[in-house]
Amino acid sequence: MRLIASYISGLIFGIGISISGMANPAKVLNFFDIAGTWDPSLIFVMGGALIVTFIGYRFVLRRPAPTFEASFKLPTRSDLDLPLIGGSALFGIGWGIAGFCPGGALPALGTGRSEVIIFTVALLAGIFAAKALQRLSASRAKAA
């Protein structure tokens, strides 16, 4: 049942991303190109997703636990630090260069397009590199 629920949420997400335009780099980049070929469509994606999630979470998180798990797994940190801001800034730069974000690219893999595969391989390489850096700095901190 857990796997079926996971699959269904992934499927709904994938259909949503597909019809929203988030998997289309031309549309994503045009959303940010206010000084050029501006296409404001993506504000409707973010707006629709945010309003629905904001209201839905209120009801869901009022329950003592999710259906198939003992507890909700929610991030608890609230401090702002350099990795969060620096990492997010880097993400923005990469998104502005390539036009794909992870949530757009993963469903887009289903189209089998070579551009999506190239982006995703590079994305995975970046994740591996960053994780290696994090391990390195963690072991240095331990040694010091």
Q: Which 39-98 residues touch other proteins, going by CB under 8 A? A: 39-42, 44-54, 56-57, 60-61, 63, 65-69, 71-75, 77-80, 83-98
What is the nearest approach in angstroms of other proteins to the Cβ of residue 93?
5
- Of 44 and 136, the one with the shorter C-beta distance to other proteins is 44
Six token digits for residue 64: 């003592």
Q: Which of 14, 144, 32 is nearest to 96 (CA)?
A: 32
Q: Judged by CB under 8 A, how many residues of this single chain contact other proteins?
A: 115
Is residue 141 near other proteins by the rule CB under 8 A?
no
Regarding 144 and contact with other proteins (CB under 8 A), the answer is: no
H or E, element range at 139: helix 114-143
Minimum distance from residue 69 beta carbon to other proteins (Å): 5
3-state secondary structure 31-53: HHCCCCCCCCHHHHHHHHHHHHH
> Which residues, 99 to 128, sit near other proteins by CB under 8 A?
99-111, 113, 115-116, 118-128
Rounded to a whole number of angstroms, the minimum distance from the CB of residue 139 to other proteins is: 16
- Name the residue type at position 97: I
Interface with other proteins includes 136 (CB under 8 A)? Answer: no
**First CA to last CA distance, the chain:** 47
Contact assessment for residue 107 and residue 23, using Cβ atoms and an 8 Å cutoff: yes
Cα 113 → chain centroid: 20
* Minimum separation from the CB atom of position 136 to other proteins (A): 13
